[in-house]
Amino acid sequence: MMVERIMYVDSKTPVNCVFTVKINGVISEDHFKIALDKIQRKHPLLRAYIDHKNAKYPFFVEENDILPIPLRIVERKTDQDWLSESENEWYRIFEDPKKPLVQIVWVKGSAVSEILWVMPHSICDGTTGINLLRELCSLLDDPSAELGSYQTFSSVDDFLPADFNLKKNQRKARLYLIMAKLFFFIQSKSKKRNSGKNYALHRKLDTVISKKIVDKCKVNGISVHSLLCAAFMEAFKEFQGKKAKGKVISPVDVRNFIPEIKQDHIFAFAPTVELSLKKGQNLLENAQQIKKDLVEKIGKTEARELLWMGENMHPVVDRMISLLKSGKGGHDITLSNMGKIDIPNEYKNFKLETIYSPTVAFPWLNSNTLVVTTYNQQMDFTFMSNEDFLPKEDAKKIKDKAIELLTS
């Protein structure tokens, strides 16, 4: 799909998502192999590669003789090894047609381990990653469990409603394409690119502080997501002054709009909404307004049409990518709040101690990204960017200030 192509970028540019769990207990390597085999047999995209040579645009090809999901084992030495391994995996390129679009890293200790699930963003969203962690933990504990299977979608046409007016929308799509070509034609071409180091900052809040944030939201009739957006925009404003944009981009789970895409399906597209600070309002007033705006914008989202319209934009994808790589954008940060993670923490043979928020390193000029998850009543933050665009020390100040605003 066009949206998958944007996250694919090209054959030489990795954009990988890394999902990590921490486990207490002993894990069998044999169980690992059985679990990965069953997961690979369930999900068609884990038996595919990306062909970027034999057609005008790259496309997925299912490979009947695909190799098993690779498992890389490293010795666990510190509690931070998972984060350094995560950063290493950002730069893995999945290009071998005989190997699947996935890599597992087992940071193995005698009693404690972290498991990293690494995939190109072009095949997965946050819900995909969490589901794969859920399936893996279940099978590591009980390798006799069965997962079933499903047929992947062949094109975005599979999502079109019965009353979709094809002729009307084809005219609309052609007009959008003409407008897009004109837009990119008049855009000044910038050679600016990030050449600094990508980084990830991590912070896990304890149950007391996490509960304090949730209670604050309940008392004031706001959502955790709206408070997160308001707090981080305020923090950017405090440290960047007039340079701050006062806007965030928030991805929304596409499954909210297209129920044919199940919770346990691998899928990559997440519609986004833009949310803004309002001048002259305090933190809580902004959070209340953001909650209202978010509900309204989600209600207007036409995900099926967005996917279909996107397929008519393939001719300008390269120019879209070029603009993302060179443009500062109109937002402070992309903020993904994945909410409460629904994975058991007690298994027969081990305990799932915690889940870390996913990490990713975007090649865009504005690579500011925040992912928030909650597991076992603990909120977890990963803040990613590039030293060229946002120095790491500045990012630390913004992150700390935002958390201070959340908890004050």
User: 275 by DSSP, 3-state: which?
Assistant: strand
Q: Could you tell me if residue 304 is inside a domain?
A: yes
> Looking at the structure, do residues 397 and 299 belong to the same domain, yes or no?
yes
Cα separation, 91 vs 146, whole angstroms: 33
- For 325-363, the pLDDT digits (tens) are 999 999 999 999 999 999 999 999 999 999 999 999 999
Q: Could you tell me if residue 232 is inside a domain?
A: yes
Cα separation, 32 vs 37, whole angstroms: 9
> Looking at the structure, do residues 77 and 217 belong to the same domain, yes or no?
no
155: nearest Cα among 364, 308, 32: 308
Cα→Cα distances 84→77, 78, 222, Å:
12, 10, 36
**Kind and range of the H or E run holding 248:** strand 247-251
Running DSSP on this structure, what letter comes out for residue 342? -
Q: Could you tell me if residue 49 is inside a domain?
A: yes
Other C-beta atoms closer than 10 Å to the C-beta of 148 total 8
Other C-beta atoms closer than 10 Å to the C-beta of 331 total 21
> Looking at the structure, do residues 125 and 216 belong to the same domain, yes or no?
no
402: nearest Cα among 275, 239, 244, 280: 239
What lies within 8 Å, CB to CB, of 202 at 6+ separation is 83, 356, 357, 380, 381, 382, 383
Strand partners, 199: 385
CATH number of the domain within which 100 lies: 3.30.559.10
Q: What is the DSSP string of 183-228?
A: HHHHSPP------S-EEEEEEE--HHHHHHHHHHHHHHT--HHHHH
Q: Is the pTM of this model over 0.75?
A: yes
> Looking at the structure, do residues 315 and 387 belong to the same domain, yes or no?
yes
Question: Which residue range is the domain that position 295 belongs to?
Answer: 196-339+361-407
Q: Could you tell me if residue 318 is inside a domain?
A: yes
Q: What is the DSSP string of 14-61?
A: --EEEEEEEEEE---HHHHHHHHHHHHHH-GGGGEEEE-SSSSS-EEE
Please give the angle made by the CA atoms of 322, 327 and 331, to the nearest 5 degrees.
130
> Looking at the structure, do residues 251 and 385 belong to the same domain, yes or no?
yes
Cα separation, 186 vs 188, whole angstroms: 6
Q: Could you tell me if residue 180 is inside a domain?
A: no
Q: Could you tell me if residue 344 is inside a domain?
A: no
**Distance from the Cα of residue 14 to its chain's centroid:** 14
> Looking at the structure, do residues 239 and 335 belong to the same domain, yes or no?
yes
> Looking at the structure, do residues 15 and 132 belong to the same domain, yes or no?
yes
Q: Give pLDDT, residue 91.
A: 96
Q: Could you tell me if residue 383 is inside a domain?
A: yes
Q: Which residues of the chain have pLDDT under 70?
A: 188
> Looking at the structure, do residues 72 and 137 belong to the same domain, yes or no?
yes
Cα separation, 395 vs 391, whole angstroms: 6
Q: Could you tell me if residue 185 is inside a domain?
A: no
> Looking at the structure, do residues 97 and 220 belong to the same domain, yes or no?
no
CATH number of the domain within which 370 lies: 3.30.559.30
> Looking at the structure, do residues 374 and 273 belong to the same domain, yes or no?
yes
> Looking at the structure, do residues 214 and 136 belong to the same domain, yes or no?
no
**Kind and range of the H or E run holding 326:** helix 317-326
C-alpha Rg value of the chain to the nearest Å = 21
φ, ψ of residue 106 in degrees (nearest 5): -110, 105
Is 52 in contact with 379 (CB distance < 8 Å)? no
**Kind and range of the H or E run holding 8:** helix 2-8
> Looking at the structure, do residues 236 and 366 belong to the same domain, yes or no?
yes
Q: Give pLDDT, residue 218.
A: 96
Is 357 in contact with 203 (CB distance < 8 Å)? no
For residue 312, give both structure tokens.
């008519």
Number of domains in the chain: 2
